[in-house]
Structure 1
Amino acid sequence: MKIENSTLNDIETIFEFYHAATNYQKSKLVVPWPDFEREMVKTEILENRQWKIIIDGKIACVWATTFSDPQIWEERNEDPAVYIHRIAVNPDFRGQSLVAKIVDWAKQHAKDHNKKFIRMDTVGENIGLISHYSKCGFDFLGLLKLKNTDELPLHYHNATVSLFQIEIK
């Protein structure tokens, strides 16, 4: 297993994983992802903020990172943190504890960039994800009704989000 930045050659695979994740979300009756903008993902790739796990030569999982997320984290955005977004797993690799592998990677990534927190969110009160992310080491911080979502993807508009955090010690 290795973790590295995604490349522009990975864009079709990334969107295949997003589509599979959206279908899975619909089957679980949780808020599904919208169609994300290709330019947003392309920008993340060019800024080295889109990542992938490779197992046996295949992309097993993708996600994006940022060091700022003010519309979701509001005043807490002032804290030095790595924010993880859009974890999408290749359906062939589900059940292989990939989020735990991302957490291990993110702890080192945070330390390398002098960050004190790893943070994530999910739209709604998704009990399954709250449990899963908690098992992966995240503290569930509760629910937050978003106020200013004009620069966020559509599924955040008028949304309440579940917030998660790991403090780096």
Structure 2
Amino acid sequence: MTIVSPAQQFLPSTPADIDEIFRLYRLAAAYQAATPRATVVWPDFERGLVEQELAEGRQWKLMVGDAIACMWAYTFDDPQIWGARNADPAIYIHRIATNPDFRGQGFVAAIVQWAKEYAKQQHKQYVRLDTIGENLGLIAHYTACGFTYLGLSALTDTVGLPAHYHDATVSLFELPVAG
């Protein structure tokens, strides 16, 4: 879809990527566990969740050469996290995981640019994301990428959400697509 540089490109993930997706999730969870300020460590995600996202074309990857440098999922509907704001036309980004071999290369900012372009194509007004708890490092990182920090929100209905959302408070972030 969008070319970042001749060696970098955004592509939809495929079922052939599923083992690498779960490897990156495990590495991200290990990184979270080793980070003293981390407010959450990702659980083992349900394979069926990722298989559904793959089937619906909602899992994406940023390729650098032949390697998946970063991957994420998106949805256009996130009512359990966003409540009444879910009525706004938005794209919601979830589970950004960067390959440790590619950390520190600004891929979250690249994903944000991809999401803004994709949202425009889909006639959405916002790019949104969340993180569990009040993770000051991620708050600073996401606001540096252009997001407005909307504050903390306690989740009340987490049935069907991944385990790390249960009994959680989330930090919410929003970026207008126009402009």
What TM-score does the superposition give when structure 2 sets the normalisation length?
Answer: 0.93
Name the amino acid aligned to 1:27: A
- Give the match's secondary structure for 1:39: helix
Give yes or no for the alignment of 1:91 onto 2:100: yes
Question: Following the alignment from structure 1 to structure 2, what is the Cα–Cα distance between the partners of residues 64 and 43?
Answer: 11
Give yes or no for the alignment of 1:16 onto 2:23: yes
Give yes or no for the alignment of 1:74 onto 2:75: no
How far is 1:151 from its partner?
Answer: 1.6
Describe the superposition over 1:137-160 as per-residue Cα deviations: whole angstroms up to 9, x where unpaired: 111100001111112111101100
- Give the match's secondary structure for 2:123: coil
Question: Following the alignment from structure 1 to structure 2, what is the Cα–Cα distance between the partners of residues 28 and 127?
Answer: 12
Name the amino acid aligned to 1:61: C
Question: Following the alignment from structure 1 to structure 2, what is the Cα–Cα distance between the partners of residues 71 and 28?
Answer: 28
Describe the superposition over 1:89-135 as per-residue Cα deviations: whole angstroms up to 9, x where unpaired: 00000000000000110110000000000000000100000000111
How far is 1:76 from its partner?
Answer: 0.2
Over the aligned positions, Cα root-mean-square deviation in angstroms equals: 0.6
Q: How does 1:108-127 map to 2 (within 5 A)?
A: 108-127=117-136
- Give the match's secondary structure for 1:33: coil
Structure 2 unaligned runs (5+)? 1-7
- Give the match's secondary structure for 2:68: strand
- Give the match's secondary structure for 2:160: coil
What TM-score does the superposition give when structure 1 sets the normalisation length?
Answer: 0.99
Give aligned pairs, total. Answer: 169
Q: How does 1:151-166 map to 2 (within 5 A)?
A: 151-166=160-175
Question: Following the alignment from structure 1 to structure 2, what is the Cα–Cα distance between the partners of residues 116 and 130?
Answer: 21
Paired position in structure 2 for 1:140: 149
Name the amino acid aligned to 2:153: L
How far is 1:28 from its partner?
Answer: 1.4
Describe the superposition over 1:33-82 as per-residue Cα deviations: whole angstroms up to 9, x where unpaired: 11000111011001000000001221101100000000000000000000
Structure 1 unaligned runs (5+)? none
Give yes or no for the alignment of 1:6 onto 2:13: yes
Name the amino acid aligned to 1:4: L
Segments of 4+ moved more than 6 angstroms: none
- Give the match's secondary structure for 1:24: helix
How far is 1:27 from its partner?
Answer: 1.1
How far is 1:24 from its partner?
Answer: 0.7
